[in-house]
Amino acid sequence: MTWQWAAAAVATVAVVAGVTVWLNRSLSSEELAVRALSRPPEQLEFRTEDLTELRSWVKSGTGFDVPLPSRTSPTVHMIGAHVNRGGVPTAEIAYRVGSVDARLVVSKAPPDGDGRHAFVKSGSYHGANFQSWTMRGQMYTIAATDARVGCMLCHNTGAPRAVSN
């Protein structure tokens, strides 16, 4: 019987260690963006619709200079931001495009890039669509339930019909 208790104890320790490692792993920018999408607006550290204020706040919290467009479509509304300071610094910028929530996550790009605007990948994760690209030494990932929404944050053509209010 004692060997069964010892085996159960070893198995329990292994499961706890595995879960701890999994929970503390570095998340990809896509995972961070999808996770940010589930963050309610009340949990944002900084709430503003002013692009200049937000850009300054993000730079002071992360060192990132995020080139936000000076004007957006009337259907694009910035809500605010959250900064992750632990581990790899990231900025999460919350938007609402028509009736769809969107989150832009900005972090430092991998050192192997040349700084040019380059598509990295797109896909879906836990019911949200994402697109990632690098530009000016930074990694950008946008997540939303409607894949068309992300492009509208920088390319102000207006919301697609299904997204418009």
Domain positions in the chain: 29-152
Continuous H helices in the chain: 2-23, 29-37, 51-62, 149-152
More confident residue, 158 or 116: 116
| pLDDT tens digits, 100-113 | 899 998 988 877 76
Confidence of residue 26 (pLDDT cuts 50, 70, 90): low
- The pLDDT of 154-163, averaged and rounded, is 53
Continuous H helices in 24-161: 29-37, 51-62, 149-152
CA distance 155 to 80: 19
Contact 105, 111 (CB under 8 A): no
Cα distance between the two ends of the chain: 66
| pLDDT tens digits, 45-61 | 999 888 889 889 999 88
Averaged pLDDT score across all residues of the chain = 78
Q: Which CATH number fits domain 29-152: 3.40.50.300, 3.20.20.30, 3.40.50.920, 3.30.200.100?
A: 3.30.200.100
